Structure 1
Amino acid sequence: MDPTVEAALHGRFVRGVDLAPRNDAVRVGADSISYEQAHELALVWAGALLRAVRKPPGTVAVLAAKGIRAYVGILAALYAGATVVPLHPDFPPARTRRMMRAAGVSAVISDEAGWGQLPELLAPGPDGEQPFDLGGPDAVLPVLAPGCPAGTHPGVGRIVAEPAGALSEPRPVRPADAAYVLFTSGSTGRPKGVPISHGSAAHYFRLQDERYDFTPQDVFSQTFDLNFDCAMFDLFCAWGAGATALWVPPGAYRELPAFVAENRMTVWFATPSAIPLVRRLGGLAPGALPGLRWSFFAGEALTCQDAADWQAAAPHSTLENLYGPTELTITIAAHRWQPERSAGIAVNGVVPIGRVNGGHDHLLLGEDGQLAANEGELCVSGPQLTSGYLDPDDNAGRFVEHGERTWYRTGDRVRRIGEDGELAYLGRLDSQVQIAGWRVELPEIDHALRGCEGVTDAVTVDVTTASGTELAVFYTGSVVPLSVFARQLRTVLPQGMTPRHFWRLAAFPLNSNRKTDRGVLRARAEERLRRTTDTTGNTSTPTT
């Protein structure tokens, strides 16, 4: 293998081909594809992409639901030497259009769901927003749409993939080249693009190889959407070992022990919200998940009680709490659960996030912006750090220079615990929250709400319920039916970012600085949710 390919993110898949060519690389329901089949198909698609784009290798969007075509599409884009941008076809077209424009997408790989969305993406938005285009009146968007209906759309140049045009091997890349771009929630009302380089990914996965003993016999869960960075852990840890990545359908949670056993799953990775869900559905009985070897959780705070219950259900599994923002390449710290020790050093009943990954430095900043000894905002510097957001204007406030190095300000408050460098998570410093693993900027929700008919102003708060963290909204203006909120918000927000509870107020409560008091609103929301809820879990009350 070319050394530059071996060091690339997709070099991990090539390693899997060598280790276990006939193993399933991916299984989605009744569909599966082996390593050698996926490798050959990705080379065909990569060759077609390179012939179609005007400025290879460019940036390739994979606009597809979770399926074989999406997984091979990611691989094909990487094989072409392109930067891959996973996009969710269920997202509002306006949001997808902005992400494509920000990433400078030069070609698209799509399935039926993505193919059906293209006409709207290439048309002006309902608010007058310009359509996505490639910068010229006669330019067309090259789209590889295998298995989609014959024909094309206006503004689309359909790519034909033929075995005769296959690459002989993946194209070489440089460590500084971006392997993929993921988008996080942005406080300005638009998502922020985060490019992650092949070099950053190589450092990260080298650490995972050293820490874990994954083999071709392992079967990894695939619970995360492909536009969520934790999905990269599943895929490239599995593929680097010749193991199988298995899609977990929503219905599997109803009888998770049976699903895990039937599919001989050995590695589980999900947000902590999965634990109370499985518990409510009766799947966390002691010993219910005996086949799991590894259990990972990330994206939200993991409570000690949830960790203990999962460990009891999966007694042969090593459980780890992983932590890290997208800007630091998937996860940047890990804590291995040990019931007595972990519970003993936990803060507020939350499992520690552990030690920062090797090769990195970290520091804590106090509220005054000065270095703090034991508690403060976590800042990290090292090889997993992104070079910055796609839009440099988004860098302000997130990256800080200190001691001739650039540090990423996570916005998370942590505390040093023990004597071995472990950290405890204390909460967010800003208006960002975690909802089922989603990083959500509350001002982005507020921005979307202000665009709803009848709303003058809006404040979104996060509320802890028995089901996990939920979003609740207080707004001023006229009374807005829930159906109107649902209809208008789904055009601009993904489902995971859409609030469930709405209340109208005559005016917002203010604190001593004459700013909206989110703490009071949060407490009020918690009280109302204790008192009243309709059958859908949504609530709305008149002026108070």
Structure 2
Amino acid sequence: MRKGDISVIRLPRGLTDAELARTALTGDDPVSYGELTRRVDALAGRLGEVTSGPGERVAVWLGKGTRYVTAVLAALEAGCVYVPLDGAQPAVRVTTILGDSGPTVLFTDHGRLRQLAGAELPASLRAIVLTDPAEDPGEPVRTPATVAVHSWSAFTADAPDRPAGRGRTPDDLAALLYTSGSTGTPKGVKISHRNLANFVGWALEEFEVGPDDVFANHASFNFDLSTFDLFAALAARATLWVVPDAAAKDVSALAAGIRGHGVTVWYSVPSILHLLTASGALTPAETRSLRYVLFAGEVFPIGRLRALRGVLPPDTALYNLYGPTETNVCTYHRATPADLEREHPLPIGAPIKGAHVRVEDEHGEAVDTPGDPGELVVSGECVTPGYWGREHEPAAADHRSGRHRTGDLVTVEEGRLVYRGRKDRMVKLSGYRVELGEIEAAVLRHPAVADAAVITAETGGRTGIAVYYVPREGGKPPNLLQLKQHCKTLLPPYMLPHSATRLARLPRNANGKTDYRALTEGAAEPPS
């Protein structure tokens, strides 16, 4: 791929008749490349009329499906910036994101639009496109007179040709992905065409994928993992299974989908892969088509990774991908048989093409001694331009210079980066620096513990270590004393837990990661 070539994040053009007839999206509403191109071009043409120039935002608040994909691709074809919203996000959060991003067009459905009744819609909004049937029996929602409400079919009827060449330079924005802000207000990470093209270009070189492959899109479209699923699949002219929202955490549906669609490329957070293996839903019969299993977003405990390896074909490649939203994937590591014999999780490896990494101490100096921890700082074409509307924040200067401080602590071992935890999960107890992730790892090594999370909690005016754990099915749940005795063999005394709470399951956020805030606020589910 040529440097600066951003065509890999668009629908492929110049396809033969045979290629146009191949399936682009599979699932409940299979669509060929030819039909998908027709739908995207019609929608892009109409967006070109409604929007006044490149860079305008198009928000999508829908359940996952063919029309979600079509809206995203049409926004890009029209030179717009897509703002993906998880279909299950509450209306209050959606209203906040709409107000911050200022979209010109919103794609949604009748049910979700009703949730916005009474909300203050942004002044930038000119059109709402409803993707479900117009004969929906519910009461119509009143919208400002300046906002036109269209059905999908009416909006795309007699559409003009797609607008050519709008907003397609490498530095133009392609997406705004909203993440949780430290203040509780979502912040939009600006993703450029250059960022996406760099990542997808690397993926096409690293993974031997092509038209015969079937990718699974498990992640929500507001999660950066989805950019691989969507754009790498289309660039490879492969087929994409858009996993419905209802199946995202249904292990039986996921396993059946992997087998039924012949999925060859899977990418998700480790928690989902663990659910699939621990439940017994994923067996060698379901996984025989898998060529690549990629995971990112959180640490994959080595015992769980071994369990996954045990149900995969021997030649299936396992990849640990690493990177915050602000860099997307910036480092990677392909697991070796020796890695599975480790006691600790996989390394996060080496930088992808177009990324540069540096380990720095608290003074910004390079950490050169192997094994010494420091903060991982990333630079290069993978680094995004910053946060939408936050150009005056301290991090903005770094982003303008193409640098991102990840806040993640790493060491270098045998030339490979090893993740050691978050700076913001580094706490001080009794004068000692403590990484809570290290305590989690120790608790997870208890044979009767299936899942665990660790936070700090105030007890009697003192800060202590609070363990929340899910017992392994069929085992006897350990009490606090037993957990302490176990951890004592792995950790120093100042890192031993002060309390232990048994849960039916750990709370998860929309992306499947442990929701530590819910634990802090006591919003976890006790055992039945």
Taking a change above 3 Å as real, the CA distance of residues 76 and 286 of structure 1, as seen in their structure-2 partners, is closer
1:132 pairs, out of 116, 121, 134, with 121
Equivalents in 2 of 1:106, 1:473: separation in Å?
A: 43
Calculate the TM-score normalised by the size of structure 2.
0.76
Equivalents in 1 of 2:312, 2:62: separation in Å?
A: 33
Deviations 1:104-138 (A, max 9, x none): 21111223443333424xx2xxxxxxx23216xxx
Taking a change above 3 Å as real, the CA distance of residues 339 and 105 of structure 1, as seen in their structure-2 partners, is same
Aligned to 1:246: 241
Equivalents in 2 of 1:532, 1:148: separation in Å?
A: 40
Taking a change above 3 Å as real, the CA distance of residues 432 and 167 of structure 1, as seen in their structure-2 partners, is farther
Q: Is 2:283 the counterpart of 1:292?
A: no
Letter of the 1:283 counterpart? A
Taking a change above 3 Å as real, the CA distance of residues 270 and 9 of structure 1, as seen in their structure-2 partners, is same
Aligned to 1:430: 424
Give the Å deviation of 1:281: 1.6
| Aligned positions of 1:1-400 closer than 5 A | 7-8=6-7, 10-14=9-13, 20-28=19-27, 30-54=28-52, 58-120=56-118, 123=119, 131-134=120-123, 141-149=126-134, 153-155=142-144, 156-159=147-150, 160-168=154-162, 170-172=164-166, 173-248=168-243, 249-250=247-248, 252-254=250-252, 256-285=254-283, 289-315=287-313, 316-328=315-327, 330-340=328-338, 342-343=339-340, 349-373=344-368, 374=370, 375-392=373-390, 395-397=393-395, 400=398
Q: Secondary structure of the equivalent of 2:20?
A: coil
Tell me, yes or no, if the aligned pair for 1:50 and 1:56 is still in contact at 8 Å: no
Taking a change above 3 Å as real, the CA distance of residues 524 and 61 of structure 1, as seen in their structure-2 partners, is farther
Q: Secondary structure of the equivalent of 1:423?
A: strand
Equivalents in 2 of 1:191, 1:432: separation in Å?
A: 23
Equivalents in 1 of 2:14, 2:269: separation in Å?
A: 28
Give the Å deviation of 1:210: 0.8
Taking a change above 3 Å as real, the CA distance of residues 386 and 291 of structure 1, as seen in their structure-2 partners, is same
Give the Å deviation of 1:53: 3.1
Equivalents in 2 of 1:462, 1:41: separation in Å?
A: 48
Taking a change above 3 Å as real, the CA distance of residues 416 and 238 of structure 1, as seen in their structure-2 partners, is same
Give the Å deviation of 1:317: 1.1
Q: Higher relative CO (CA 8 A, sep ≥ 6), structure 1 or 2?
A: 1
Percentage identity across paired residues of the two chains: 28
Equivalents in 2 of 1:207, 1:331: separation in Å?
A: 10
Letter of the 1:528 counterpart? A
Tell me, yes or no, if the aligned pair for 2:409 and 2:422 is still in contact at 8 Å: yes
Using the TM superposition, name which of 296-305 and 75-84 deviates more. Answer: 296-305
Taking a change above 3 Å as real, the CA distance of residues 390 and 464 of structure 1, as seen in their structure-2 partners, is farther
Taking a change above 3 Å as real, the CA distance of residues 212 and 18 of structure 1, as seen in their structure-2 partners, is farther
Using the TM superposition, name which of 309-318 and 72-81 deviates more. Answer: 309-318
CA RMSD of aligned residues (A): 3.6
Deviations 1:269-312 (A, max 9, x none): 11111232122221354565121011101111122222222222
> Where in structure 1 are there 5+ consecutive unaligned residues?
124-130, 434-441, 443-460, 475-504, 511-516
Q: Is 2:501 the counterpart of 1:529?
A: yes
Using the TM superposition, name which of 225-234 and 157-166 deviates more. Answer: 157-166
Deviations 1:344-370 (A, max 9, x none): 6x5x61111110112322111223443
Taking a change above 3 Å as real, the CA distance of residues 393 and 471 of structure 1, as seen in their structure-2 partners, is farther
Aligned length: 452
Give the Å deviation of 1:259: 3.3
Deviations 1:10-44 (A, max 9, x none): 4354477888312222223x222221111111111
Tell me, yes or no, if the aligned pair for 1:272 and 1:302 is still in contact at 8 Å: yes
Give the Å deviation of 1:244: 1.4
Equivalents in 2 of 1:355, 1:92: separation in Å?
A: 38
